[in-house]
Amino acid sequence: MDQPSDKKPLTREMFFATPIFFKDLPNSKELNKNLLRHIKQWKKRDEKGIKRSNSLGWHSAVDMHNRKEYNPLTKELFKMQHEIFEAEGYNKNTEPVCDNMWANINYKYSHNKNHVHPGAQWSGVYYIQTPKDCGHIWFTDPCGQRHIDMPIMEPKKEKPVHYWREVHYQPIEGRLIMFPGWLVHEVAPNMSNLKGDKHWRVSVSFNFKQRWKPEMWKPRGGGHDSGGEIRLVQLK
């Protein structure tokens, strides 16, 4: 007769996960065609662009979200932000705000150095033109100390995701990715062999913040007309 076992089952709990959201926009071909045309025109007007994490590539000014020709994409970004707010359980009296938004063109051998987006709650990228071998984006585990003394794993078994050092995403035209602004990421060099501007890796990046909806605020100590200070105060 089998003896009852007094061995309790092992329980594992997982904490400190890092969310990365993505979706493929429907009917993105027409959207990307128009975006690419406007971005090329923008680049002609401002060949120098600005310098950020980009190496050898072109980086536009960061006011793209205020330019009406890019409204169709901006609306999609806000739509996905609202979906994330719902999925993550954010306060329903808050809303997303686009802090800045810009275009990227990575030429042959262009890449983006590893970096974060300080002050951004959510950052992301949308892919417009992505020829083969144009450079993937990869994210690095923010818990660097985890890898100081890594365990020796069974070689024939797939390593659990919480032991991964980095995650790579291939750029796909029409794909929209959003991730926490504090998550370290970089873009591999563009090694496309296509000719002319067909080899360009063209994308749009952006940063979002969360704020209380306007109806949740009221002036304290009078308004501008009365000389009082306007402070943002949450209404009960």
Residue 231 within a domain: no
Does 194 map to a domain? yes
Q: What is the average pLDDT across 152-159?
A: 90
Residue 49 is part of which domain span? 22-143+159-216
Put residue 157 in one of left, alpha, beta given phi > 0 → left and psi -120 to 50 → alpha.
beta
Count: domains in the chain: 1
The answer to whether residue 174 is domain-embedded is yes
Is 9 inside any structural domain?
Answer: no
In one letter, which amino acid is 189? Answer: P
Other beta carbons less than 10 A from residue 140's beta carbon:
17
Are the CB atoms for 137 and 171 separated by under 8 Å?
Answer: yes
Amino acid type, 86: E
The pLDDT of residue 109 is above 70: yes
Say if residue 218's pLDDT is above 50: yes
Residue 233 belongs to some domain of the structure: no
* 17-64 residue pLDDT tens: 999 999 999 989 999 999 999 999 999 999 999 988 988 999 999 999
Domain of residue 134, CATH code: 2.60.120.620
- 115-150, pLDDT tens digit by residue? 999 999 999 999 999 999 999 999 999 887 878 888
Q: What is the mean pLDDT of residues 94-106?
A: 97
Is residue 226 a part of any domain in this protein?
A: no
Q: Kindly state the tokens that stand for 129.
A: 């033109």
Mean pLDDT of all residues in 6-18: 88
Asked if residue 234 is part of any domain, the answer here is no
Asked if residue 57 is part of any domain, the answer here is yes
Confidence at 83, pLDDT banded by 50, 70, 90: very high
